Homo-oligomer: A and B are copies of this chain.
Amino acid sequence: MAITFFDLVDKDGRRYSPYGWRVRMALAHKRLDAAVEFCWHSDKQKLNFSGQHLLPVLLDGERAVSDSWTIACYLDEAYPDRPMLMDGVQGRSFAKFINGWTDTIIGRPLVRSLYLDILKSLHPSADAQEFRRRREGRNGMTLEALYANRAKDFDELNHAMTPLNELLRQQPFVAGGEPAYADFIIFGTLQMPRHLNGIDPLSEQQDGVRRWRDQVRRLFNGLADSV
Which A residues contact B (CB, under 8 angstroms)?
86-98, 100-101, 103-105, 159-160, 162-164, 166-167, 170-171, 174-178, 180, 182
Contact = CB atoms under 8 A, between A and B. Distances in A.
27 contacts: A87-B90, A87-B91, A88-B90, A89-B91, A89-B177, A89-B178, A90-B182, A92-B176, A93-B94, A93-B171, A93-B174, A93-B176, A93-B182, A94-B97, A96-B167, A96-B171, A97-B163, A97-B164, A97-B167, A100-B163, A100-B166, A100-B167, A101-B163, A104-B162, A105-B160, A105-B163, A160-B160
A-B residue pairs, 5 tightest by C-beta: A90-B91, A94-B94, A100-B163, A89-B176, A101-B163
Interface of A is mostly: helix
A90 B86 contact: yes
A96 B180 contact: no
Nearest to A90: B91
A93 B104 CA distance: 21
A170 B70 CA distance: 14
A164 B170 CA distance: 23
Contacts of A162: 100, 104-105
Contacts of A167: 93, 96-97, 100
Contacts of A174: 93, 97
Contacts of A176: 89-90, 92-93
Given A96-B167, A100-B163, A180 B105 contact: no
A103 B86 CA distance: 25
Contacts of A100: 162-163, 166-167
A156 to B, nearest CB: 10
Residue of A89, A162, A171, A180 with highest tally of chain B CB at under 10 A: A89
